[in-house]
Amino acid sequence: MTFKTIIALLTLSAVAFSVESANEKTEDMWGDEVWGENWQEEETSPWSVAGFVEVAYGKRLQSDVLFERPETLEEVRGHLELDYTATGFEFSFAGDTWYDGVTEQQEYDIREFVVDISALENTDIKLGRQVITWGTGDLVFLNDLFPKDWESFFAGRDDTYLKASSNSLRVTSYFSAINIDFVWTPVFTADHYIDGERFSFFNPLAGQQVGGQDRVNPVEPKETLSNSELALRLYKNIDGVEYAVYGYRGFDKQPVGLTDDSEPTFHRKDIVGASIRGAVASGLYHTELAYHDAKKDGNGTNPLVSNSQLRWLIGYEREVATRLTLGLQYYLEWTQDYDELLENSPYPQFEVTEKRHLVTTRLTYRSQKDEWIWSLFGFYSPSDKDSYIRPSVSYRFSDEWAFTAGANIFSGRDDHTFFGQFKDASNAYVRVRYNFN
């Protein structure tokens, strides 16, 4: 751990101690002695404050020749949440600052800075920076094109950080016939994808792994009104079954396309889809369908644009023993105009399979009072012959202290497949967190 890391840890600990001390002073003011002498009705503050300080460390389980250091996670993080509630509106703030020992940089991120207004007795309006998600999949996203942070996910940060923020307007209206959820993101927000900074990946143009000093520098869409993102969900619960249809107009969330100058970029994409979620046989089922329409290449002959895809997911989850839950999913990714793709591709040997099959399993055991949580999530693709396993265990020592350990284990027969390209990124990590409020 570097000197800067230690300084950051001491600083964040001081912040946490200050908040804790302030809370203790507030409690003293309302202690039994004062209560007895100066009784008055307790007023509930419209403000609430919470947060945590966390130290995390992760390391590769093998070497990657593109990186000198084995560490994949080395940081001291402070997280603060501030909420204000008043009649007719709410304000929420959530932000992080951390010293990243892997990149040797101090980082900041505002995850939430949003005003939530209730209007017309049936409408909620949320304006500002916020985390948005919908859809039915468990770590599989078909109609949810809101930004994701895959680097955090693969490095072993808390799963919460997989869902990234965007500056958006969200309007949700509730009607007897149907509910409407609309999101407008004025400036396109890409995923925090694997760009070679922390993990290497397979570049088909180079025909090999790239990363370390060689990072992705994509051409992003211009910040114009016509390039904003629009997302729509219409949903209704009928007799315990939730039905939803989706629409999205925007771009690929990762730079999987190329410009005419062979620079990575994000091409236009439209999505339509639907989902159903309900209960059966003491468990919960879900199924979801989405068509990803590549607007720049309607017939699949342009090798610079990723082809359109039909995606389908079906899953089921239930408690199979006391406090032991099992979840299963099957996912299909069907690339359209596949013959045209292979005929025009400069690297057909590295293209995705026409029908990519994926099976996922989630096994979770929770002890009484949730002190221990054991989790195993596995992805396996029989078509790509690759896999991704995520074991983890969390222990809550008290309301303040929590400990987590886990691993991200990738394997695959080929270097260019979805999980196979990350074979040298397999890692194990630990996190220690102190919560305060």
Tens digit of each residue's pLDDT (9 = 90 or more) over 94-131: 999 999 999 999 999 999 999 999 988 899 999 999 99
Q: Looking at residues 387-406, what average pLDDT do you find?
A: 96
The pLDDT of residue 12 is 47
DSSP letter for each residue of 254-283: S--EE-TTS-EE--EEEEEEEEEEEEETTE
**Mind listing the pLDDT tens digit for each residue in 270-283?**
999 999 999 999 99
DSSP 176: S
**Would you state the structure tokens that stand for residue 351, as one six-digit string?**
């293209």
| pLDDT band for position 42 (cuts 50, 70, 90) | low
d(CA 335, CA 256): 14
Residue 41: the pLDDT is 61
Task: List Cα–Cα distances, 130 to 81, 143, 207, 249, in angstroms.
Answer: 13, 18, 38, 19
pLDDT score recorded for residue 8:
46
Reading the block at residue 26, the tokens are: 């507030």
DSSP H or E segment with residue 7: helix 3-29
Q: Give residue for tokens 């100066």.
A: 38
Count other Cβ atoms within 10 Å, centred on residue 73: 22
The mean-pLDDT minimum among 148-157, 207-216, 336-345 falls in 207-216
**Eight-class DSSP state of 242:** E
pLDDT of residue 87: 86
What is the predicted pLDDT for the residue at 213?
82
Looking at residue 191, its amino acid is D
- Paired tokens of 309: 């895809």
Task: Quote the pLDDT of residue 215.
Answer: 85
Task: Give the pair of three-digit tokens for residue 14.
Answer: 């001081």
CB atoms within 10 A of CB 2: 11
Q: Which of 254, 257, 236 has the alpha carbon at shortest distance from 245?
A: 236
Q: Find the distance separating the first CA and the last CA of the chain, reported in whole Å.
A: 27
Listed in order, strand segments (DSSP E) in 46-132 are 47-60, 71-86, 89-100, 105-119, 123-131
- Dihedral of CA atoms 336, 341, 342, 348 in degrees, nearest 10, equals -110
Model pLDDT, residue 40: 57
pLDDT at 27: 42
Q: Please tell me the predicted confidence (pLDDT) of residue 34.
A: 43
Q: pLDDT tens digit string along 340-350?
A: 999 999 999 99
Q: Does residue 374 surpass a pLDDT of 70?
A: yes
Q: Is the pLDDT of residue 15 over 60?
A: no
Sorted by sequence, the CB contacts under 8 Å of residue 351 that are 6+ apart come out as: 204, 341, 342, 345
